[in-house]
C-alpha cells in the first residue's frame, strides 16, 4: 500500500518533466539551460529519498500487516518437524524393507521335524543348522510374532517343552530328528555344562505363545515342567544366576556361550527376573493367585540383588562378579530395555553409552564390550574382535537404541537407521568386524530383533 503511493508520486514527478529517461537510469540529462540541470539534480535527490523511505516503510508495514511472522524459535521448530518428517519417511522405507527381509528369512529357515507336524525354525535363513534353538526362536517370536503362524508357533514350543530333561534342564536346541541337545557346541563335543538361560527363554516363549494364540492349555499342561526348568538353574541365595568359578566349564547367556563368566552372571539373571514375571502373569491368567504372588516375590528379590553388578564409578553394569568382571554393553542395555535397571541406573547407562559410543557401536551394530577390549576369560580359543569376543552384532541394537533415547534421541534414531541401511546393502549377518570378517549370513535374529526398535519409533510417531 505504501509502496504503491510512492510509485504514484514518482509518476507525478515524471509527468511534470522533472527528469528525463536518462535520469531514471542514473544518467542526468545536461540540457542547454542551467536551470534544467539543477532541476534534474534536485529530482534525483527527491527520488532517492522517496525510494529509500518507501522501502523502509514498506518493510515496517509488512510486519505490521503480518503480526504472526515466525520467531527464530518457531522457525527452528519448523525445521525440526521437517527433519522429523524426513526421518520418519526414511525409517518407514527401511522398516518396510526389514519386515520383508525378516519374513523372507523366517520362511527360509523352516525345516520339517521327523514328527511330521512340527516346523523347526532354525537360526539362519538357509536352514543350515538343522535344529530349533530355544533362544533364537524366542528372539524370532519376540521380534516378529506375526510372521509365524499360530499352529506352527504352538507346535514348535511344545516340541521344545518335550525336550526338557527329567531333572528340569531345558534344551539348548532340539534337532529335526527329535534329539534334544542341552549344551552348546557339537553333539559329540559339547562346550561344557548347559547354558544358564535356556529355561528362561522357554518360559518367555510360552507366554509369547499364550499372548499370540490365546491358548492357555500350553501353560496349564506344562506349568510344572516350566517350574522344574527354572529350579534347575544354578543360583545364589539372593536369586542371582550363578556359575561356580571352580566348575570346569559352563556356558552363561547363549550369545556369549564361549565366554567363561563366573560368579553371579548378569544377563542370565536379568532373563531369570523376566521369566519369574512371566510365570506370575501366566498364573494370574490361570487364576492361581497364590502362585502368582510367590513368583512376584522371587522376582522382586532378584531385581533388588541386581545391584551386585552395578559399577557406581563407571555408571554401568558388570558382566559377572568373578571372571569377566567387566562393563557389559549388551547386559547393561538389556537391563534398561527390560526395566530391570532403576531410573537412576538407566540414565547413567545411557550417558555411559553416549560417551563411549564410538567404542561400542559400528554401522549400528554393537560390541559386547568396549573396543579394543576382549573378554578376560574364554571357554574356547577366540581372537579379539571376532565373534563373541569383540565382533559387532545387530542382536542388541534395539536395546541400545532404547537406552540412548534417554539422553540422545537423535543418535538413537541414527543408530537404527545406520544398521538398516548397512544391512540392506551388505546383507543380514550374525556379526561382522571392521576388518571384513562376517559370521553366519542370513541370520534371522539379526532381522527380527531390530524390528522392536522400528515399532517403537513408529508408535512414537503416531503419538506426536
- Residue 241's pLDDT is 98
- Closest of 107, 273, 109 to residue 204, by C-alpha: 273
- Residue 87's pLDDT is 64
The residue-averaged pLDDT of 271-293 equals: 98
CA 332, 334, 340, 342 torsion-angle sign: positive
- Residue 127's pLDDT is 82
- Residue 54's pLDDT is 47
Is residue 241 a contact partner of residue 274, using CB atoms and an 8 Å limit?
no
- Closest of 397, 396, 393, 453 to residue 428, by C-alpha: 393
Cis bond leading into 328, ω under 30°? no
Which three three-digit cell numbers place residue 312? Answer: 557406581
Judge whether residue 437 has pLDDT over 80.
yes
Confidence tier at 10 by pLDDT (50, 70, 90): very low
Question: Residue 131 and residue 202: Cα distance in Å, rounded?
Answer: 15
Question: Residue 216 and residue 210: Cα distance in Å, rounded?
Answer: 6
The residue-averaged pLDDT of 370-374 equals: 97
E strand segments, 106-154: 110-112, 119-121, 131-133
Judge whether residue 112 has pLDDT over 80.
yes
Interval 197-255: pLDDT, tens: 999 999 999 999 999 999 999 999 999 999 999 999 999 999 999 999 998 799 999 99
E strand segments, 300-381: 310-311, 316-317, 361-362, 365-366
Judge whether residue 320 has pLDDT over 80.
yes
Bridge-partner residues for 366, per DSSP? 361, 393
Rg (alpha carbons) of the chain, rounded to whole number: 34
Contacts of 343-348 with C-beta under 8 Å, sequence gap 24+, read 345/310, 345/317, 346/403, 346/406, 347/406, 347/407, 348/315, 348/316
- Residue 375's pLDDT is 98
Confidence tier at 270 by pLDDT (50, 70, 90): very high
Question: Residue 144 and residue 308: Cα distance in Å, rounded?
Answer: 33
Per-chain mean pLDDT for the chain: 88
Judge whether residue 9 has pLDDT over 60.
no
Confidence tier at 41 by pLDDT (50, 70, 90): very low
User: DSSP labels for 88-107?
Assistant: HHHHHHHHHHHHHHHHHHHH
Interval 301-310: pLDDT, tens: 999 999 999 9
Predicted TM-score (pTM) of this structure:
0.82
Confidence tier at 125 by pLDDT (50, 70, 90): very high
- Residue 64's pLDDT is 47
CA 20, 26, 32, 38 torsion-angle sign: positive
- Closest of 159, 161, 179 to residue 169, by C-alpha: 161
Question: Residue 295 and residue 291: Cα distance in Å, rounded?
Answer: 6
- Residue 313's pLDDT is 97
Is residue 235 a contact partner of residue 241, using CB atoms and an 8 Å limit?
yes
The residue-averaged pLDDT of 256-276 equals: 97
- Residue 24's pLDDT is 37
DSSP 3-state of 55: helix
Q: Percent of the chain beyond pLDDT 70? A: 80
Interval 50-97: pLDDT, tens: 555 545 445 444 454 455 566 776 655 556 555 555 666 899 999 999
Confidence tier at 191 by pLDDT (50, 70, 90): confident
Interval 344-362: pLDDT, tens: 999 999 999 999 999 999 9
Question: Residue 175 and residue 162: Cα distance in Å, rounded?
Answer: 12
Judge whether residue 18 has pLDDT over 50.
no
The residue-averaged pLDDT of 127-149 equals: 96
Sequence-distant (≥ 6) Cβ neighbours of residue 151 within 8 angstroms:
none
Amino acid at each position: 500500500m505504501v509502496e504503491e503511493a510512492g510509485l504514484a508520486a514518482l509518476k507525478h514527478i515524471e509527468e511534470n518533466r522533472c527528469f528525463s529517461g536518462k535520469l531514471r537510469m542514473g544518467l542526468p540529462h545536461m540540457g542547454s539551460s542551467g536551470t534544467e540541470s539543477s532541476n534534474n539534480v534536485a529530482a534525483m535527490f527527491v527520488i532517492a529519498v522517496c525510494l529509500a523511505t518507501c522501502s523502509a516503510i514498506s518493510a515496517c508495514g509488512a510486519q505490521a500487516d503480518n503480526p504472526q511472522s515466525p520467531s527464530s524459535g518457531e522457525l527452528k521448530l519448523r525445521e525440526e518437524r521437517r527433519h522429523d518428517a524426513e526421518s520418519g519417511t526414511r525409517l518407514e522405507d527401511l522398516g518396510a524393507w526389514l519386515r520383508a527381509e525378516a519374513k523372507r528369512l523366517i520362511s527360509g529357515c523352516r525345516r520339517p521335524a521327523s514328527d511330521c507336524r512340527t516346523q523347526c525354525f532354525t537360526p539362519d535363513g538357509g536352514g543350515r543348522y538343522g535344529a530349533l534353538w530355544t533362544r533364537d526362536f524366542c528372539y524370532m517370536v519376540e521380534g516378529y510374532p506375526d510372521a509365524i503362524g499360530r499352529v506352527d508357533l504352538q507346535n514348535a514350543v511344545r516340541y521344545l517343552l518335550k525336550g526338557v530333561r527329567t531333572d528340569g534342564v531345558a534344551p539348548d536346541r532340539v534337532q529335526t530328528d527329535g534329539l534334544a541337545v542341552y549344551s552348546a557346541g557339537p553333539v559329540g563335543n559339547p562346550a561344557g555344562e548347559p547354558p544358564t538361560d535356556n529355561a528362561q527363554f522357554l518360559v518367555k516363549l510360552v507366554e509369547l505363545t499364550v499372548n499370540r494364540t490365546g491358548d492357555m492349555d500350553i501353560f496349564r499342561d506344562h506349568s510344572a515342567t516350566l517350574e522344574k526348568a527354572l529350579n534347575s538353574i544354578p543360583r545364589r541365595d539372593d536369586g542371582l544366576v550363578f556359575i561356580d568359578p571352580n566348575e570346569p566349564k559352563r556356558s552363561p547367556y547363549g550369545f556369549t556361550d564361549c565366554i567363561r563368566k563366573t560368579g553371579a552372571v548378569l544377563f542370565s539373571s536379568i532373563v531369570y527376573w523376566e521369566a519369574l514375571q512371566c510365570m506370575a502373569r501366566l498364573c494370574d491368567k490361570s487364576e492361581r493367585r497364590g502362585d502368582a504372588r510367590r513368583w512376584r516375590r522371587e522376582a522382586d528379590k532378584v531385581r533388588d540383588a541386581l545391584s551386585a553388578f552395578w559399577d557406581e564409578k563407571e555408571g554401568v553394569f558388570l558382566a559377572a562378579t568373578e571372571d569377566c568382571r567387566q562393563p557389559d554393553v549388551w547386559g547393561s542395555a538389556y537391563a534398561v530395555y527390560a526395566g530391570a535397571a532403576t531410573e537412576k541406573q538407566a540414565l547413567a547407562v545411557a550417558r555411559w553409552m553416549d560417551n563411549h559410543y564410538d567404542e561400542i557401536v559400528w554401522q549400528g551394530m554393537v560390541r559386547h564390550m568396549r573396543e579394543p577390549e576382549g573378554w578376560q576369560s574364554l571357554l574356547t580359543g577366540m581372537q579379539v574382535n571376532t565373534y563373541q569376543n569383540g565382533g559387532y552384532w545387530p542382536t542388541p541394537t534395539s536395546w541400545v537404541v532404547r537406552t540412548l533415547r534417554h539422553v540422545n534421541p537423535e543418535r538413537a534414531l541414527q543408530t537404527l537407521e545406520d544398521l538398516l541401511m548397512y544391512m540392506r546393502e551388505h546383507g543380514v549377518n550374525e556379526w561382522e568386524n571392521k576388518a571384513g570378517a562376517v559370521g553366519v549370513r542370513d541370520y534371522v535374529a539379526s532381522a527380527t530383533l531390530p524390528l522392536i526398535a522400528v515399532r517403537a519409533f513408529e508408535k512414537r510417531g503416531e503419538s506426536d
